[in-house]
Chains A and B, each alone.
Chain A
Amino acid sequence: MTDASHRDTWRRHTQRQGLTIWLAWLGLVALTVWCWQIMTRDTIWFFVTDAPTQAADIGSRMWPPRLSYLPELLWPLWDTLNMATLGTMLGILMAVPVAFLAARNTTPSALVLRPAALFVIVASRSINSLIWALLLVAIMGPGLLAGVIAIGLRSVGFIGKLLYEAIEEVDSVPVEAVIATGAGRAQVLDYAIVPQVLPAFWGISVFRWDINIRESAILGLVGAGGLGLKLQSSLNVLAWPQVTMILLVILATVVVSEWVSARVRKAII
Chain B
Amino acid sequence: MNGYPATWKRPPQIFTHRGWRIGLQTGFAVWLVLALATLDPNWARIVEGWERGLRFAGGFLQPDFTSRWSDISKGLVESLTMTLTSTVAGIVISVPIGVGAARNIAPRAVYLVCRSIIALSRALQEIIIAIFFVAMFGFGPFAGFLTLSFATIGFLSKLLAEDIEDIDEAQAEAIRATGASWLQMINYAIQPQVMPRLIGLSLYRLDINFRESAVIGIVGAGGIGATLNTAIDRYEYDSAGAILLLIIALVMVTEYGSSYLRKFLQ
Contact with B along A218-243 (1 / 0, CB 8 A): 10011000000000000100000000
Contacts of B219 in A (CB 8 A): 221
B238 → chain A closest CB, angstroms: 14
A40 CA / B49 CA spacing, docked (Å) = 40
Residues in A whose Cβ lies below 8 Å from that of B46 = 140-141, 145
* A residues near B36, Cβ cutoff 8 Å: 86
Provide the residues of chain A in CB contact with B131, threshold 8 Å. Answer: 235
Instruction: Please state if B45 and A140 are interface contacts (CB–CB under 8 Å).
Output: yes
Can you list 14 contacts pairing A with B, beta carbon distance less than 8 Å?
Answer: A40-B142, A44-B140, A54-B135, A54-B136, A122-B248, A126-B248, A126-B252, A128-B211, A134-B232, A141-B42, A144-B38, A145-B41, A215-B125, A255-B123
Stretch at the interface among A30-38, A63-71, A162-170, A176-184: A30-38
Q: Which residue, of B123, B136, B215, has the highest number of chain A Cβ atoms within 10 A? A: B136
A48 an interface residue at 8 Å Cβ cutoff?
yes
Find chain B residues with CB under 8 A from A140 CB: 41, 45-46, 49, 53
Q: Which residues of B contact A139 (CB under 8 A)?
A: 49, 52-53, 56
Q: Is A42 located at the chain interface by the 8 A CB criterion?
A: yes
- Chain A interface residues toward B at CB < 8 A: 28, 31-32, 35-36, 38-40, 42-44, 47-48, 51, 54-55, 58, 78-79, 82, 85-86, 122-123, 125-128, 130-131, 134-135, 138-141, 143-145, 148, 214-215, 217-218, 221-222, 235, 247, 250-251, 254-255, 267
Residues of B contacting A78 in the complex (Cβ-Cβ under 8 angstroms): 38
The answer to whether B259 has its CB under 8 Å from any CB of chain A is no
CA distance A108 to B224 in the complex (A): 38
B251 in complex: contacting residue of A36, A42, A126, CB < 8 Å: A126
Chain B residues whose C-beta falls within 8 Å of the C-beta of A222 in the assembled complex = 218
B69 at the interface (CB under 8 A from A): no
Q: When the two chains form their complex, are residues A39 and B78 in contact, meaning their CB atoms are under 8 A apart?
A: yes
Interface string of B68-102 (1 = CB under 8 A from A): 00000000011011101100100000000000000
Nearest neighbor of B192 in chain A, beta-carbon distance: A12
Given A48-B142, A134-B218, A141-B45, A122 and B252 contact (CB-CB distance below 8 Å):
yes
* Minimal Cβ-Cβ distance residue in B for A238: B135
A79 and B248 CA atoms in complex are apart in Å by 30
Q: What residue of chain A has the Cβ atom nearest to residue B34's Cβ?
A: A82
Q: Is the CB of B229 within 8 A of A134?
A: yes
Question: Are the C-beta atoms of B84 and A131 separated by less than 8 Å?
Answer: no
- A47/B235 contact (C-beta < 8 A), A36-B85, A130-B218 known: no
Q: In the complex, are the beta carbons of B81 and A39 less than 8 A apart?
A: yes
Pairs A-B, 8 closest by C-beta atoms: A126-B251, A47-B138, A35-B81, A141-B45, A39-B81, A82-B35, A140-B49, A139-B53
Tell me, in angstroms, the Cα distance from A267 to B80 when the chains sit together.
42
A63 and B228 alpha carbons, distance in the complex (Å)? 35
CB distance from B129 to the nearest CB of A (A): 11
Complex CA gap A218/B129 in Å reads: 12
| B127 interfacial contact with A, CB 8 Å | yes
Within 8 A of A (CB), among B46-63: 46, 49, 52-53, 56
Closest B residue to A53 using CB positions: B136
CB within 8 Å of A: which of B10-45?
14, 35-36, 38-42, 45
On whether the beta carbons of B88 and A28 are closer than 8 Å, the reply is: yes
CA distance in complex: A133, B39 (Å): 15
Cα–Cα, bound, A130→B255 (Å):
20
Q: Are A47 and B225 in contact (CB under 8 A)?
A: no
Please report the C-alpha to C-alpha distance between residue A53 and residue B123 in the assembled complex, in whole angstroms.
25
Contact partner of B214 among A131, A145, A218, A250, CB < 8 A?
A: A131
Using Cβ atoms and an 8 Å threshold, which residues of chain A touch B145? Answer: 39
Cβ proximity bits B225-257 to A, threshold 8 Å, 1 near / 0 not: 100110011010000100010011001100100
Establish whether residues A35 and B84, one from each chain, have CB atoms under 8 Å apart when the complex forms. yes
**Is the pair B228, A131 in contact by a Cβ cutoff of 8 Å?**
yes
Report the separation of the CA atoms of residues A122 and B131 in the bound assembly, to the nearest whole angstrom.
28
A250: which B residues are within 8 A, CB to CB? 128
Are B127 and A32 touching (Cβ within 8 A)?
no
Contact B40 A144 (CB under 8 A): yes
Cα of A127 to Cα of B248 in the assembled complex, Å: 7
